[in-house]
Amino acid sequence: MPNRVYIFDTTLRDGEQSPGCSMNLQEKIEVAKQLERLKVDVIEAGFAISSPGDFQSVKSIAETVKNCTVASLSRARTEDIDRSWEAIKNAVSPRIHVFIATSPIHMEYKLRMSPDQVLERAVEMVKYAKRYCSDIEFSAEDATRSDPEFLYRVFEAVINAGATVINVPDTVGYTTPDEFYRLISNIKSNVSNIDKAIISVHCHNDLGMAVANTLAAARAGATQLECTINGIGERAGNAAMEEIVMALKTRSQLFDVDCRVDTTQIYRSSKLISSITGVSVQPNKAIVGANAFAHESGIHQHGVLANKTTYEIMTPESIGLSRNTMVLGKHSGRHAFEDRLRSLGYNLTKEELDETFQKFKVLADKKKVVQDADLEVLLQHKAVEVPETYRLDRFVINTGNTITATASVRLIKFNGDEQIIEEVSTGDGPIDAAFKAIDKIAGISFTLEDYSLRSVTEGQDAQGEAYVKIRSNSKVYTGKGVSTDVFEASVLSYVNAINKMIYEEKLFDRI
């Protein structure tokens, strides 16, 4: 029987720290719920002390998730650990994750501490955290550039102090698979009490080897693998969860380990992260890229038609990608609609189904055929809505290559009662004019960081999916809008971002 490995997902902590991937409270909760459906073992919900927003999201996730361990990251400081415990104390299975750097360069230039001081602090803080809960993870930051002998001493000491998991991070993506295999093997051989703790690894992708390094560590005996959905994370990102899990499943005889992840939830998880952050995966991305199961070459097509295993080493269905070709349109009934949602991995309540079906009917009136991608966008957008301060009522745009673009936008403002506000503006193009008109209505100071537009599906009647990112007080808010009219999608995305900003600022004013 294969040995068990644990999947530690840090999408909400390390992943969210990557530029452009910030999420609000509702979005983080929705991601946590999806990670629970995916059946990861540990969700690192955030860095509780870093901000009031992070604290509130860690706390809310800890109180929401029931079937996963919820962890909060802490520096080796008592105030960090206190704040982490305050956030996760109501979790069904809480974990405090303590880290301190152990490499010579980090100890000298960042910590300004001697190795003996680092060792003493590590032990002291693990003991301190142990007073709060039994499950303590200790990370030796920049472990792969640390002196191995010192690393063995630190790990042995923190295990004696109560650490239940010791983590070996490749913090800057420096190591290679052979080196990492040897390091994990040597830790097992040279840390006398290693049998009392789980060995974990956390790999970054700076040299493009995060997944390969993680898998090498698994072969060497690491039993917790830290990763993120779509590989998002600081700099070049983290090891991609979907690639690790599918490698373990597809090459099970080689690794002889298994995990509890429900792989049919992988595709949905990937799409949710892309939808929330506005960061799409590249078409040739392993496992979840648009081309991962596409075959254009004639030779490949012939082979797949004869026998799928000629060019497919895993099935689309294994990651939750349906091959269902049933067409949905405006004449489709509720039963067919519900059946399609189930095939995509969505199980909605009756109320959610009623509301989504009505939205589907509206969309089907605009499009001849509603594709799976259309349904996914509709459902994901609904999942992370925030209370509206502003709602689009109507807009009129006049534009052309011989006139100055002009936009008239009318919004409904909800502030105890409904107030209709309309403004007109010119701009450098129709989108700029519309955004400036909305700026006049909102009367709030912020900076537009990014704007992008893409087609959800193919064809002239495809939905346009617009994303904007606005910055206020060093915080970035992502807005999303979807419509068969690209101007409307753009206006909706801008209003959505403003609503998120207003809601979050009001929320944390009350904390």
**Domain range enclosing 302:** 293-320
Residues 314 and 327 in one domain: no
Burial label for 408, CB within 10 Å (0-12, 13-18, 19+), is middle
DSSP code per residue over 196-264: GSEEEEEEB-TTS-HHHHHHHHHHHT--EEEEBGGG--STT-B-BHHHHHHHHHHTHHHH-EE----GG
Distance separating alpha carbons of residues 138 and 418, to the nearest angstrom: 52
In a domain, 442, yes or no: yes
Give the per-residue pLDDT at 299.
44
Distance separating alpha carbons of residues 230 and 245, to the nearest angstrom: 12
**Residue ranges in the chain whose pLDDT is less than 50:** 295-305, 325
Neighbouring C-beta atoms of residue 256, cutoff 10 Å: 13
In a domain, 470, yes or no: yes
Of the candidates 150, 132, 210, the residue with the CA atom closest to the CA atom of residue 186: 150
Residues 346 and 298 in one domain: no
Residues 87 and 188 in one domain: yes
Question: Do the bridges between strand 6-9 and strand 42-46 make them parallel or antiparallel, or are there none, so unpaired?
Answer: parallel
Q: What is the CATH number of the domain that holds 447?
A: 3.30.160.270
Give the per-residue pLDDT at 297.
44
In a domain, 157, yes or no: yes
Number of domains in the chain: 4
Distance separating alpha carbons of residues 469 and 492, to the nearest angstrom: 13
Residues 262 and 331 in one domain: no
Residues 444 and 401 in one domain: yes
In a domain, 379, yes or no: yes
Q: In the listed set 335, 358, 383, which residue is the last one of a domain according to the structure?
A: 383
Q: What is the CATH number of the domain that holds 178?
A: 3.20.20.70
What's the pTM value of the predicted model, to 2 decimals?
0.85
And the tokens for 128? 């301190």
Give the per-residue pLDDT at 452.
92
Give the per-residue pLDDT at 384.
62
CB 382 within 8 A of CB 363: no
Give the per-residue pLDDT at 327.
63
pLDDT tens readout for residues 132-174: 999 999 999 999 999 999 999 999 999 999 999 999 999 999 9
Residues 156 and 267 in one domain: yes
Residues 269 and 123 in one domain: yes
Residues 215 and 342 in one domain: no
Q: State the Cα angle at 217 between 214 and 221, rounded to 5°.
A: 140
Give the per-residue pLDDT at 326.
55
Neighbouring C-beta atoms of residue 416, cutoff 10 Å: 6
Give the per-residue pLDDT at 358.
85
